[in-house]
Amino acid sequence: MTKQGGEIRSRWGWTEAPVWTNRMLAALENGVKGGNWFSLIDKVYLEANLIQSTHNKVVQNQGAAGVDHVTVEEFERHATTNQKRLRKELTFRRQF
């Protein structure tokens, strides 16, 4: 029996909707055929997902400044620069 996407999503509250699709959450619930699970980081640092995720967090906080004390106005003013910096930090791999 298939479970509704919203029902599954409510049990995995730590997941970000832009990254974790309902199909992926179903795999968390039911396991993965063959036991192979692949990295999600490529979805995390896609620019579209970073923009959506960071914007959603600001909206979710109803514009209240977070632990970084950044206001909505500051967030919007520097959003592109900060998202590019975040993407660079997420994709950086130190060369030894």
- Residue 15: which region, alpha, beta or left (left: phi > 0; alpha: psi -120 to 50)? beta
Higher pLDDT residue, 55 or 76?
76
pTM (2 decimals)? 0.43
Assess whether 9 and 51 both reside in one domain. Answer: no
What integer pLDDT is reported at residue 5 of this predicted model?
A: 56
- Both 24 and 62 in one domain: the answer is no
Q: Give per-residue pLDDT as tens, 27-75.
A: 777 877 766 666 666 677 777 777 777 777 777 777 776 777 877 788 7
Distance in angstroms (rounded) separating the CA atoms of residues 86 and 28: 27
The answer to whether residues 24 and 45 belong to one domain is no
Identify whether 96 is part of a domain.
no
Residues 82 and 55 in one domain: yes
Q: How far apart are CA 54 and CA 75, in angstroms?
A: 9
Domain limits for position 11 = 5-34
